[in-house]
């Protein structure tokens, strides 16, 4: 009987006989990191053939080290944080332009005695709203991104049967009498920032920071819902974004340099790019 109690208190197996297999048997539960808070399932000098005979620990550091005894959580009262499901997203916090919306969740059970802490309870994401913009507001224009193709493809903007996306940009309004060439125009931009991917594609070599480029809005790209203009043609004095249709990693920011739209200048006769 004395041998049994000595073994139980020390959690050490003597003469090859296992005296404890768990934190409960060994009566061990230690805060922090304590290497002496160990359940020695086999004699410390024994050759261990079975993984289950290896020592396990009953200190709270074992949660991070991954060497806890199987019953450590239950015996030592370790409780992980439990949270609810996400609630619905809130409305956008602005009525015009860029804003944010959020959703939340709540703690159902707090962490205790070294259990996993609660994750973030609030999540946010960007949103855009234009329903409350003034009729003459340019905020929606600032947030549009221009999608562009090389100007050399301008003559290919017609409907055909090829599978080449560069030559298969379907006419947006083929039967609309208001969609005609007299509405075409060009816009000049100063390139402010451009990704490295643009430099690797010869079609977009004109996109260099500090340089000016000309972008043409052709008949096929005019949009009735935007009052017969191209999407992303920018606002004077505000940086806007662009990205390349056939080179998805090519993108950047530019600044429209003129308020007036160019319809007869050199820009339209030889544009660097075209809107899509």
Q: The domain that contains 101 carries what CATH number?
A: 2.20.100.10
Instruction: Encode burial over 59-87: b for 16+ CB neighbours within 10 A, e otherwise.
Output: bbbbbeeeebbebbbebbebebeeeeeee
Q: 258 and 164: one domain?
A: yes
Q: 147 and 196: one domain?
A: yes
Residue pair 213/191 in contact (Cβ under 8 Å)? The answer is yes
Q: Domain tally for the chain?
A: 3
State CA 229 to chain mean position distance: 31
Q: 25 and 108: one domain?
A: no
Q: 198 and 221: one domain?
A: yes
Asked whether residue 161 is assigned to any structural domain, the reply reads yes
Asked whether residue 96 is assigned to any structural domain, the reply reads yes
Q: 168 and 200: one domain?
A: yes
Asked whether residue 134 is assigned to any structural domain, the reply reads no
Domain boundary among 95, 129, 163: 129
What percentage of the chain's residues is helix, strand, coil (to nearest 5)?
Answer: 20, 25, 50
List all residues 6 or more positions away from 274 whose beta carbon is below 8 Å from its beta carbon. 148, 149, 150, 151, 153, 154, 157, 215, 216, 217, 218, 221
Q: Which of 211, 226, 180, 225 is nearest to 273 (CA)?
A: 211
Q: 113 and 41: one domain?
A: no
pLDDT (0 to 100) of residue 174: 53
Per-residue pLDDT of the chain (276 residues; tens, 9 = 90+): 332 333 333 434 443 334 578 999 999 999 888 989 999 876 666 665 566 678 899 998 998 898 999 999 999 999 999 999 999 999 998 888 788 999 999 999 999 888 889 999 999 998 888 777 887 777 788 888 999 999 988 864 444 445 455 555 555 555 554 556 678 899 999 999 999 999 999 999 999 999 999 999 988 888 888 888 999 999 898 899 999 988 879 999 999 998 877 776 777 888 999 999
pLDDT (0 to 100) of residue 198: 93
Q: 211 and 248: one domain?
A: yes
Q: 262 and 161: one domain?
A: yes
Residue 151: which domain range?
139-275
């Amino acid at each position: 009987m004395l041998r049994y109690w000595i073994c139980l208190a020390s959690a050490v197996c003597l003469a090859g006989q296992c005296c404890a297999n768990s934190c409960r048997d060994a009566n061990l539960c230690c805060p922090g990191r304590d290497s002496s808070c160990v359940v020695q399932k086999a004699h410390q000098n024994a050759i261990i053939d079975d993984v289950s005979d290896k020592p396990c620990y009953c200190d709270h550091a074992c949660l991070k080290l991954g060497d806890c005894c199987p019953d450590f959580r239950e015996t030592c009262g370790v409780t992980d944080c439990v949270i609810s499901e996400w609630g619905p997203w809130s409305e956008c916090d602005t009525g015009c332009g860029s804003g944010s919306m959020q959703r939340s969740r709540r703690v159902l059970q707090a962490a205790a005695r070294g259990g996993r802490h609660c994750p973030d309870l609030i999540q946010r994401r960007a949103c855009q709203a234009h329903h409350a913009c003034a009729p003459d507001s340019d905020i929606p224009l600032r947030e549009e991104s221009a999608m562009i193709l090389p100007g050399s493809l301008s003559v290919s903007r017609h409907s055909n049967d090829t599978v080449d996306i560069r030559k298969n940009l379907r006419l947006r309004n083929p039967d609309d009498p208001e969609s005609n060439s007299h509405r075409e125009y060009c816009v000049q931009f100063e390139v402010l920032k451009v990704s490295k991917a643009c430099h690797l594609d010869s079609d977009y070599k004109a996109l260099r920071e500090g340089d000016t480029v000309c972008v043409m809005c052709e008949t096929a790209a005019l949009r009735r819902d935007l009052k017969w203009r191209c999407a992303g043609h920018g606002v004077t004095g505000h940086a806007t974004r662009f990205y390349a249709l056939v080179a998805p990693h090519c993108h950047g920011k530019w600044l429209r340099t003129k308020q007036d739209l160019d319809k007869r200048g050199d820009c339209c006769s030889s544009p660097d790019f075209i809107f899509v």
